[in-house]
Structure 1
């Protein structure tokens, strides 16, 4: 049941800088989440929503949030906060769903996954499994996210500027490996679940790394040869398209609005006052994830649980 705090709720969270400048090539990928997960609620957050989320629910992190470089770092911070506050599934906008996520819900309190081994080995010369923060799911109030937020808070004033280390996958990776209490109940799923493909735009780098085959790179280089279109298995639920708009410059000409991608979507904070001005007022809707504020596709067959306080 949705009310059960130990399970991951049927919420899909996605995010972009604003609601109106989403690269149009993301459209089919974003729509895929609704297609494969009917009855889930879809929530879309922009930078302004992220700030409201922190100010409204996490005043203890408001100063930290202000200190972070705007853009990738603040978006990273907000995704951990919303998973803590509401739970659900967070997926980057360049992630495409390939199968229903229903079967993963009851099994875990939270789950993460790791980027392709070829990335770590061939691009960064690093051995091992590297956790990625582009797709993550959780029950509400899991202590793992609090530990991640606290770690970021502790290093926010350090002068560190690289978002990967300051707020990104390296932080999630560190907490998972170092804080065994916080990570209780967090499952690390193999890369085939969500990362069957490598960053093909960076193919030249992979080819250079595989020019000389050694014991170090043999397995990964062979795998790239054997699976030029990705390592898909029966466990593959989604695929990351590695657009990395922040690190390689945005390639897009055409931009579209979230309302075109998910027609009829009502923004999380507007729900309390839908008929008023399109700008949400200064007051935060006390329950931004009330049924009114989300698009459920299609209607859920079982009646929603009693919403009265």
Structure 2
């Protein structure tokens, strides 16, 4: 079973951590543990890819979060969600019946790209273990944009290369109903979260002060 734990990663300036967004996950999922990973955990956890994290920290903090994400999923299991996500309705048990899931970023404007912001897994999943090893064996990950080298594109490429059949892929509208390009889901299906695109739209300076629920 996928552990009933929601993991949220925030590294960098903790005064701008979007606690308003994080609170929505706690409020709507009171039976779940919500665990926030921050600068202290980054410094002390004993990450396999700590050298990559230090290098990526000089370029993109969201890339550090992606590197942490894969190791959290492997070591702890549970559901890792982006810090700039807003929970819209309680999570349903049927979402977590498999061994792992993610969702598409957007089927219309980014077809085939798996989002890295909403990924769940059982602990010690060999697929995520292999991703960690692949990163460990990569000389550098900070020569490209983080979404390419350690985030969504990396996840998508690993899924294709290893033909991992245990990853359920939910529609983008479950967790990303509005893409940063403005494309928005208009259907009547379930929407469990919304994405504020903090890194992409560079809005973290004001997101933590915004009313989100």
Tell me the TM-score normalized by structure 2.
0.84
Q: 1:242 to 1:68 in 2, by over 3 A?
A: closer
- Unmatched segments (≥5 aa) in structure 1: 1-6, 121-127, 204-223, 257-309
- Summarize the alignment of residues 51-62 of structure 1 with structure 2, pairs less than 5 Å apart: 51-53=43-45, 55=46, 58=47, 60-62=48-50
The whole-number CA distance in structure 2 between the counterparts of 1:242 and 1:104 is 27
Determine the C-alpha separation between the residues in 2 that align with 1:239 and 1:173: 21
Q: What is the CA deviation profile of residues 170-203 of structure 1, one whole-angstrom value per residue up to 9, with x for unaligned ones?
A: 11001111102xx24211112121121122xx55
What is the match of residue 5 of structure 2?
A: 11
What is the correspondence of 1:1-309 to structure 2 with a 5 Å cutoff?
7-18=1-12, 20-22=14-16, 26-53=18-45, 55=46, 58=47, 60-70=48-58, 71-104=61-94, 106-120=96-110, 128-157=111-140, 160-180=143-163, 183-199=164-180, 202-203=181-182, 224=183, 230-244=185-199, 247-250=200-203, 252-253=205-206
Q: Per residue, is there more strand in 1 or in 2?
A: 2
The alpha carbon displacement at 1:138 in A equals: 0.8
Q: Are the counterparts in 2 of residues 94 and 240 from structure 1 also a CA contact under 8 Å?
A: yes
Q: How many residues align?
A: 207
**Change beyond 3 A, Cα 1:151–1:193:** same
In structure 1, how many angstroms separate the alpha carbons of the residues matched to 2:13 and 2:72? 18
Unmatched segments (≥5 aa) in structure 2: none
Secondary structure in 1 aligned to 2:109? helix
Distance 1:96 1:232, change over 3 A: farther
C-alpha RMSD over aligned residues: 2.5
How far does residue 10 in structure 1 lie from its aligned partner after superposition? 0.8
Structure 1 Cα separation of the partners of residues 89 and 207 of structure 2:
28
